[in-house]
Structure 1
Amino acid sequence: MLISREYAHSLFADLTQSVMVPLDPDELLHMPGLQRHGHVFIGDIALRCYKHKARWTYDERDIRTASRAFAELDVDLGDVDDVQLPMYYERPERDPEEWNRPNWRRRLMLWMFDAARNKAQAEVPWEEWNDAWKEVGANGLPGGLTWEEFVAACSQRRDSQNIASTRPLQLLTWSGETWLLPRAYTELLDRWEQREEKLVARARLCACGAQGPHWGGWRRHSARTGYVTMCPPCAGATCQLYTGHMCGVLYESPRRRNTRADDYLCRLCKESPASAWDHCHEHGYVRGPLTELTREFLQVRWPLR
């Protein structure tokens, strides 16, 4: 039976109150992996998301199965594993395909160095910024960070708290020489990496067999079925080119509501199907169809015409 995100969240939280791994059921509400592959990971378990009557839902059986799996997971806090975090490196030095692959060790490393950089740059004028924050101290943290400062910095952002809907900082410890996590937990995160990579690889494929970019690109939102993957040629064959015919139409008007944005290509890139009608919040008129990535992340501004 399909259930709402809210009920799935409540049910999962109730069934996992006593599990050993610190979980974050709120990820069931935020659905962080929705655009990438249509699932939400709880540990190494992928919960499929379903679009039903214009709302995202879960299968109740999947929620209960995941809850049982975590209830049965035996985590020995005394059996620990060396985390072996990678050295710091700048993002431009890496291949974009490699950088976007799931890597929980790299993510922990970036949390630490991001917190250290933000602390260092907040304390001095920009003309005095340097790379001293990259130096790792005796407590395993860079830039003179204390453990309390690191945890506080991570708590300010959701993407610096959770890995696969789990909270590693609650289990992470410093031995004096290296970072440690329970072995069962590191094995779980290793399985998550492999399964996330497989789902992303599958989601990158267009129906014609062409493979899109590793992180989004060809993925677009369909109001009817959720996210689908379409290469530019397939999108061009199935969607119309927007010609400005909605100019002067109010976003709240019945005419806009009866015209689907995903029937058109994005007004800017003219390659990917649009996901929504962009509009001006001041005068309320439609500006044109945009992809979700363009609307949310590029924050494009264009004149109404």
Structure 2
Amino acid sequence: MSERVMPSRADGLITLAAADALWVGLTVDSAVPTASGAFVHPPALARAGYVLLGSHVVATVTASNGQWAVLEAEVRRVAAELNAVEMDRRDLVRIGPFRGAPRQEVNEETLLRWRRRITAELQELGGPERAARREVCRPYPLAGIDWRQILVEQTRDGTQRTWWLPRTVVRLLDVAEHAETQWIRTARARRTSPAVTEPPFHPRLARDADGPQKASPETPTAALRPYGKELEGQLYSVLSRKPTTSRKVAGWACAVCRTAPATVLDHCHEHGYVRAPVCQSCNTQERPDHLYSNDIRVANRYTRLFHTDTDHWLRHWHRCPGCRARTTLPLPHLAAWTAHTACRPLRPTHRASGGRKPCGALRVSWTGSQNAPRYCLITVSVDFCPSGEHRVLALPYREAAERFRTWLADTAPVLAAAAGPERLDGLPDQPRPVIVDTSGEDLELF
């Protein structure tokens, strides 16, 4: 099959139809099957400024003739990367349906949500066979990948159907979904502040900056009250129902950065206590970067949380009486700390220009719950390693919590001295359970 569907323009742009044909032609021998319609059929978002190909976001632009176009070189680059991917069709990951599974975190910033899309289509069409028969009538590519060709259906006890995809494809689609989230966030930031780049987070520098602060449409002209401990020990489930809470929150400055107006009440999802009113930016910064409900990608922002601004964030997290009394962090934060800090010396490295470079991307997952610490296990692994996936460490919850307590005493001795069960009376015997035990057979996520 010829690769040249249409001659490139002088600026390297080709039409979406030509890019679609080029993508299929370049990847015809790829181990991961690809589908036509990646640029022109839902859920393609070419007219929103991008399309998803493989695990990448490829930008689209409006050509001089008014048509949407894309750089031919980008299509070729992403196709070459996909062609280099190896796939073992026997290494399968269950993608659904999950009876009684915890609801996946809904991320409004991504439109791919490939698990939802696949599940909805299979349930509507009655299974992969009928879905395949309707492929001609209803093209439905996901990031340019033809998932129908490699979907496997298994039946247990002759009744329950389960759907499986090769692990390689699951990872590609996960990364595509994650890349789309980052793309939308960046595009939104450019629209709101086209000439301003967000500076590094330095709360003390921000508070001590010289000169008057200029008012903006988003910033109230009235002086914001600094947050003290007005809401300490109160339950979010109670405060969130009061109609006056949102107005009260808007009058405070963010308890983290102390410069922007607060917009939400940050609270501990494990114990249910309010931490403090924070701005939307700090609330997003503090949120774990979930790939699954019990699986976190250790993003770059954890350097701020556990390294450059550690003391500030630890004070914020320990505003929760439950975390402070137990001298710990919520399970997702403790898992991220274990991967980012406790496992730093164990992370594999590879040779690179100028020295050795940390291998791949860190990911941490867990089975069980903080409410059953004896059976809760935290596992740190390295994804996207050039020489294959590494498991760095499998650590029981109790050991991870003990390592955190030791680290806290060395890093923030004042906070460590203020923590512990003797520092608080009236703490519930059982914290509110919100992390569902996913170790059951019907809830497998890997």
TM-score normalised by the chain length of structure 2: 0.35
Structure that is richer in helix per residue: 1
Greater relative CO (CA pairs within 8 A, separation 6+): 1
TM-score normalised by the chain length of structure 1: 0.50
